[in-house]
Structure 1
């Protein structure tokens, strides 16, 4: 078969959603074949080497790459599927594939030849496939490029953005025509016309002048409102709670973003493994559109674990257990346990937390939670035992923005060189996060911003009142082939206002050093000495801190990467970044190995200046996920 359009002809093109465009038909027979009686039919064809000669007469290298990328013949040869039947099936499929690539690039007078051992593939009946094919010749002549003499579409909704390539004088790519039609449909749907569609297309290629006349007519249909939502597939879930979690906007003007929000809320609940929302085929007499929701519930329970290792801090193990849909209303119970400093220079640290989340408590985007947590920490300069109980609300208006506020009662006991100090307080932690990263565990582009303020009120003389504030930002930029090179930066500022350093709960003060702040320096090695103890001043965290990190990541192979980094930190004795202070820095390099749950990280770092432990030696860090 030769697929072609001869110069000097005018051909109409039919544009339809989800369908290809055909401008040429086979000129060869479809029911008979010159191979009939030569090869017959074989049930046991054996694979044989095939010489594939792929040529293009005209065009550019980009077009040739696109043709080879879409070719079934190339795929069959690469995968070793080279029987005669395989080659014939691939060749017959490649005619339409090549034609589609040519149209997508604006070539409408193309000539395509595909020969199997010298015979045009289209003339071979499917049941007369040869046993062996030793040589395949592919020849594509693109012909001239066609441009738009007219590129009209309408009516379109206000604010609709059409492809820049769909305009008079531009190359007449079929992809731009389809994109223009899709944009027009999407534009109408965005303003409530859920059943907008392409009513007619009038697309003509004039081969005498190499021009395409394109006119696309839209049918917006009526403006619709959301009707009722039917729910199917739930088993343990209370359907009333399911509706509240979904937040389906019944009676409001149709908006596809609202449907996407319903999906996100249900997915965020963690109860469902599959969520399908389907719009009704027909509009109700009152111009409403019903929606069908089909869900599949996940298993009720889940168990998980994580780890991190440092040669100075030792091994840290974390684990959690989750019960989904605790009371049949989407509630989630989570129990977290951690043990750290295993094999470290200090005693082991322990943590245990229990939390229950209830989605859609105030509205569909607000989750309420109750939590309790106990910790025991044994560090070089202090021992701390704490208990926290509180409740709060999380507001998630979008995938990027998260806000959290809680009311907590906290009790802490600190033992250090100054003696024992007990803290009792109420705290009102509030935080906001803005996450624009492309991938949280291995970001290559975007940024992440966080702000947190923790007002606290002491309930006894030993505990002051004030507020801890923390601001942090992270930014990522990638370049090179497949974004092989990534530059990442992180900055953190923190300060405590209102309370004196000896009246401030120790875990509200700021240290620097170790993973998360300054790699290469020992964990929490940098603090201040303000509080007087029996043998001199006691080392504690400061009232202000600043940390900076710069990291360059290089992807060496598909799963292996490298990173070089430098970290620095400064701690101040007073709030507002004033008073006595000291700084330190560390630098190092590491290996990253990609896994399905994030990159496995191996970092080596050493001190490069400042601090109290310049000669502390090389630090090793092992963890899951990038450092930030």
Structure 2
């Protein structure tokens, strides 16, 4: 018994004591973890709160724009100032390393391969400020550009290529220019009969020498011509009408730009739901390339209904009945009826394309229109013959002749002494329009310029002689991070002959103010007034607008703007010192029919007749 007990006691140190120690140690560690975990969780939460990036400062950035640099810091970049409700992003060392690498890659793409970037982290209150110190170093410049034409006359092709690429010896090497050069060469070849060409570019960068050597081997491939042209899907629209819009013929040198131009022209006829013009087996074989034109026709007779709303004209409704390809030859007959809070209109338009030449379209319109303006109303019955001609993809010209009978009513007694009750006018309208914008409903890039002259002369049978001219220019810039900067300027004047300046027909005068001009004013409330305080318009006009459009959330955008303008009594009177200014802000909600728009405009220097120096405007579509 004793021996057994003694033996048992002897075994405790060698087995159970070790297990017991392990259990006690594990339990102790677990207890400590339970005690420490809440503290660490609290510490982590505090760290998260203190690690939101509030600001990024750039020191030494001169050759690359700061906006481009911040655009690359996607993981840590704080929200723009207009998104004031959003918090900055959480700071981590991994995010910083990733963003710094993106900034280095940006500098490399801009030609600065020896750039050095360091970061300083400054904690302020519960936020973090990141300071980037950038030593840009010398740029890499292009030392040499060589071409290797594998199946053509090298000297001739090399001379052509050098004229169209944005690369030059001695210039800074930028990856964007290099890629554009390759694209330009391939597009040039595709439009010159070599759509199967291949280009293999190489760039050797010597960082120690700050130089780049560019080598561009080009494989022309077989010279290619257009093959057979096949039109499919047309039922009511004749083949000849479609083929009139084709800009190439079988056997001509192949050009991809002519393929795209043909698709645009056929689609512009308005007779088709869809148009696809496609080369067949372009990358295979070596012979002529056949072209397939697949169209899907619209119904020949349709009814279109349009509805809109605006603060000034309230509810807008337009119903149009359209008969396409009437009498054949792509002719169109359109009957339209429109009504709003300010106007009523009925019109009948007959369109004849390809007259008087293949690049022109002629239209004859008969219409009646009633307009209710703040200080008068006018009923207009007129007939117009118009020719629109496309000169290029961006430039078009218009010539029109109109006979017009206008009955004026609603004038005050003071205004009636300078106006007739009925005017019969006979005049021409001629003009040019230049349009490179990317969208007719909501442009973000490009420009739109127009100039129109309207001579009304007694030798044409008009009761009043005058010349009216207007010039307008709009420009749209797509900035980084998606904002759009838009600007507009409009100037106009009317010069009467044999008339007092005040006797120019009031419906031909200029008016300003409202949702499409100077938005601090109500509709047509900016400019000269009668003794009773009613707007009477003027013979000269200046209007201008500047807008910054920026994204908020999803399809919702914000806008800040500055408008200016005025109307002057005399012809050729442009007094820039008498302009009225308004500032404001608004929101836009993007839709397929254009943005829904709400603007608030405030007048900085209101005219003395204005008692309320601000206005709200609700409408569909951009202001310009």
TM-score relative to the length of structure 1 = 0.63
8 Å CA contact 2:436, 2:447 repeated in 1: yes
Match of 1:398 in 2: 392
1:372 maps to 2:373: no
RMSD value, Cα: 4.4
Match of 2:238 in 1: 238
Larger proportion of helix: 2
CA distance, structure 2, for counterparts of residue 428 and residue 202 of structure 1: 57
1:153 maps to 2:148: yes
**How many Å apart are 1:504 and its aligned residue?**
3.2
Match of 1:307 in 2: 308
* Aligned partner (choices 581, 586, 589) of residue 585 of structure 2: 589
CA distance, structure 1, for counterparts of residue 398 and residue 538 of structure 2: 26
**How many Å apart are 1:360 and its aligned residue?**
2.5
CA distance, structure 1, for counterparts of residue 177 and residue 450 of structure 2: 40
Match of 2:103 in 1: none
Structure 1: which 5+ residue stretches go unaligned? 1-60, 67-104, 106-147, 206-210, 342-347
CA distance, structure 2, for counterparts of residue 189 and residue 438 of structure 1: 24
SS at match of 2:244: helix
Larger proportion of strand: 1
Match of 2:570 in 1: 574
1:349 maps to 2:347: no
**How many Å apart are 1:412 and its aligned residue?**
0.6
Change (3 A) 1:370 1:158: farther
8 Å CA contact 2:379, 2:408 repeated in 1: yes
More displaced 10-residue stretch of structure 1: 545-554 or 383-392 = 545-554
**How many Å apart are 1:278 and its aligned residue?**
3.6
1:547 maps to 2:543: yes
Match of 1:389 in 2: 383
8 Å CA contact 1:229, 1:290 repeated in 2: yes
CA distance, structure 1, for counterparts of residue 216 and residue 511 of structure 2: 67
More displaced 10-residue stretch of structure 1: 175-184 or 434-443 = 175-184
SS at match of 2:245: helix
CA distance, structure 2, for counterparts of residue 371 and residue 440 of structure 1: 24
1:277 maps to 2:277: yes
SS at match of 2:569: strand
* Aligned partner (choices 490, 493, 498) of residue 491 of structure 2: 493
More displaced 10-residue stretch of structure 1: 370-379 or 494-503 = 494-503
SS at match of 1:428: strand
8 Å CA contact 2:426, 2:460 repeated in 1: no
Match of 2:325 in 1: 325
Match of 2:296 in 1: 296
More displaced 10-residue stretch of structure 1: 243-252 or 348-357 = 243-252
TM-score relative to the length of structure 2 = 0.64
CA distance, structure 2, for counterparts of residue 305 and residue 464 of structure 1: 36
CA distance, structure 2, for counterparts of residue 321 and residue 264 of structure 1: 25
SS at match of 1:474: strand
Match of 1:359 in 2: 353
Change (3 A) 1:594 1:509: same
**How many Å apart are 1:543 and its aligned residue?**
0.9
CA distance, structure 2, for counterparts of residue 568 and residue 195 of structure 1: 51
* Aligned partner (choices 577, 583, 601) of residue 605 of structure 1: 601
Match of 2:190 in 1: 189
**How many Å apart are 1:280 and its aligned residue?**
5.6
8 Å CA contact 2:279, 2:292 repeated in 1: yes
Match of 2:557 in 1: 561
CA distance, structure 2, for counterparts of residue 420 and residue 570 of structure 1: 26
Change (3 A) 1:230 1:536: same
Structure 2: which 5+ residue stretches go unaligned? 1-68, 75-108, 110-142, 205-211
CA distance, structure 1, for counterparts of residue 572 and residue 359 of structure 2: 36
CA distance, structure 2, for counterparts of residue 202 and residue 465 of structure 1: 66
**How many Å apart are 1:537 and its aligned residue?**
10
Q: Which has the higher contact order (CA 8 A, sep 6+)?
A: 1
Q: What are the Cα deviations for residues 513-536 of structure 1, in whole angstroms up to 9, with x where unaligned?
A: 112222121211234358xxxx88
Q: What are the Cα deviations for residues 119-176 of structure 1, in whole angstroms up to 9, with x where unaligned?
A: xxxxxxxxxxxxxxxxxxxxxxxxxxxxx99975315464226877999xx9999x99
SS at match of 1:540: coil
Match of 2:222 in 1: 221
More displaced 10-residue stretch of structure 1: 585-594 or 568-577 = 585-594
Q: Which has the larger radius of gyration?
A: 2
8 Å CA contact 2:496, 2:504 repeated in 1: no
SS at match of 1:265: helix
More displaced 10-residue stretch of structure 1: 300-309 or 491-500 = 300-309
**How many Å apart are 1:244 and its aligned residue?**
1.9
Match of 1:515 in 2: 515
Change (3 A) 1:213 1:523: closer
Equivalent positions of 1:143-182 (< 5 A) are 152-154=147-149, 155=154, 156=157, 158-160=159-161
CA distance, structure 1, for counterparts of residue 549 and residue 263 of structure 2: 35
**How many Å apart are 1:429 and its aligned residue?**
0.9
Equivalent positions of 1:51-130 (< 5 A) are none
SS at match of 1:160: helix
8 Å CA contact 2:426, 2:456 repeated in 1: yes
**How many Å apart are 1:298 and its aligned residue?**
2.5
8 Å CA contact 2:487, 2:547 repeated in 1: yes
Count of equivalent residues: 464
Change (3 A) 1:319 1:518: farther
**How many Å apart are 1:497 and its aligned residue?**
1.6
